[in-house]
Structure 1
Amino acid sequence: MKSKYILMVMACVFFVVACNGKKSQKRQNDQEPPSADEIIKHMDENGDGVLSKDEVQGPLKEMFAEIDSNKDGSLSLEEIEKAPKPEGGRPQR
């Protein structure tokens, strides 16, 4: 009987530790900025692989002219990768 109780307690402790570890990892991932590839996949409405000024939002829209280094009116993967990164990670939802 005592061994069953100890086994049950150990299982509960393991479960709690495992769940808390996943929450901590998720919080860290949410604080990392998205990659340039993720940004394009998320915002590229017409699927041409680049972002026009009409497709972008937030800091990309505000800094579009600066980021568009070749002045072709769109942001390529390379231009987004070279863009200055916002400080403080992703905004809270």
Structure 2
Amino acid sequence: MNTINFKTGIVAVAFIFFGITTSTAQSRGDKKPKKATYEQLLEKMDADEDGMLSEEEVKGRLKEQFSTIDTDEDGFISEEEFDNAPKPKRRGKKEN
């Protein structure tokens, strides 16, 4: 009787472990991040709340490519310029 309960417990633990590892692996899938909308960028970066994104306000890749995106060279990125901006090059996977 004890042997049956022990075996049943081992099988139950194995199923639980399998379920946890499967759900964790699925949640870390290679999903592409969605491109932020212009409105979302305004909410995050428009520090002076003037409805425009200047080079001083933007961060990251947007700041690195500001002069390329600001095609009319007025010092701000408009929604049209943002929508027409070249897609950033994909970065390689990090090596451990």
TM-score bucket (shorter structure)? 0.5 to 0.7
Cross-structure match for 1:69: 71
Matched, 1:14 2:19: yes
User: Which one of 46, 49, 65 corresponds to residue 47 of structure 1?
Assistant: 49
Percent identity (aligned):
29
Whole-Å separation in 1 of the counterparts to 2:78 and 2:64: 16
User: What TM-score, normalized by structure 1, do the two folds share?
Assistant: 0.64
Contact 1:40 1:77 in 2 (8 A): no
Matched, 1:84 2:83: no
User: What TM-score, normalized by structure 2, do the two folds share?
Assistant: 0.62
Whole-Å separation in 2 of the counterparts to 1:61 and 1:9: 49
**Following TM superposition, by how much is the alpha carbon of 1:89 offset from its aligned partner in structure 2, in angstroms?**
4.5
Gap change, CA 1:89 and 1:50, over 3 Å in 2? farther
Higher mean displacement: 34-43 or 72-81: 34-43
**Gapped regions of structure 2 (runs ≥ 5):** none
**Gapped regions of structure 1 (runs ≥ 5):** none
**Following TM superposition, by how much is the alpha carbon of 1:78 offset from its aligned partner in structure 2, in angstroms?**
2.4
Gap change, CA 1:45 and 1:20, over 3 Å in 2? same
The alignment covers a number of residue pairs equal to 88
Higher RCO (CA < 8 A, seq sep 6+): 1
* Root mean square deviation of aligned Cα: 3.1
Gap change, CA 1:89 and 1:82, over 3 Å in 2? farther
Q: Which has the larger radius of gyration?
A: 2
